[in-house]
Amino acid sequence: MSKDTGKFITLEGGDGSGKSTQSRELAEFIKASGREVLLTREPGGAAGADEIRKLLLTGDPDRWDGAEETLLFYTARLNHLRLTVKPALAKGIWVISDRFADSTMAYQGYGNRLGPENVQKIHDVTVGSFEPDLTCILDLDVYEGLKRTHGRSHDEDRFERMDIEFHERMRKGFQAIAKENSHRCVLLDASGEPGVIQRELRRTVQDRLMS
Ligand code: TYD
């Protein structure tokens, strides 16, 4: 990317790992450094993608199989990239996305057993070589994460209702992704206090993207 484009940061992790709060606070930090920031999320972040979000996150866990939902996630992702993420980066705006392609790799590739190679093939023919400048993966025990989500009342809980083995495979998937993509990924322990995790995130962004 040229010097004048914004940076693309993604936050990843299991359900209940605290990504949404951490993303919001990270956006404040980047804003305070004098940069313009856009906070967005997947699935969603553009009008068409938001409609697909509803299809994906509501209803029975077996409503879609791994291949079907992967294609839906990628349709939403292309819409989000084309209409929201890429135009903002081109204007020099920094973009933080609460979830991106590593979620499909972890949830569908590992969790739903579509297989990492198959997800990678779909990624390569759709998104291609475009990738985040930095990905922070919040790693948390899956029981702890699901316990945190149980207090929330919402109808977009299709993945939270998947069995515990699904969530264990997904967590291992994120750990594998972090190992294989160390040039852009950092795995952070999300079991501690939110303030401590935020400090760690800010330090990572500063070291990797601001110095
Ligand atoms: P959301 O309500 O945004 O949950 P969270 O706060 O945990 O991010 O729902 C997103 C759900 O969709 C979440 O359970 C993970 C799942 N998901 C996938 O399975 N694959 C994907 O590619 C993405 C982006 C999300």
Q: Tens digits of per-residue pLDDT, 88-142?
A: 999 999 999 999 999 999 999 999 999 999 999 999 999 999 999 999 999 999 9
**Residue from 99, 102, 161 whose mutation best tests the ligand 1 pocket (most atoms within 8 A of CB):** 99
**Would you say the CB of residue 169 lies under 6 angstroms from ligand 1?**
no
* Ligand 1 center–CA 119 separation, angstroms: 16
Q: Measured at the alpha carbon of residue 210, what is the angle toward residues 197 and 37, in degrees to the nearest 5?
A: 75
pLDDT in the model for residue 4: 74
**Would you say the CB of residue 99 lies under 6 angstroms from ligand 1?**
yes
pLDDT in the model for residue 2: 44
Beta carbons of 138 and 13 less than 8 angstroms apart: yes
* Ligand 1 center–CA 39 separation, angstroms: 16
The CATH H-level superfamily of 8-210 is P-loop containing nucleotide triphosphate hydrolases (3.40.50.300)
Report domain extents, the chain.
Answer: 8-210
Beta carbons of 109 and 116 less than 8 angstroms apart: yes
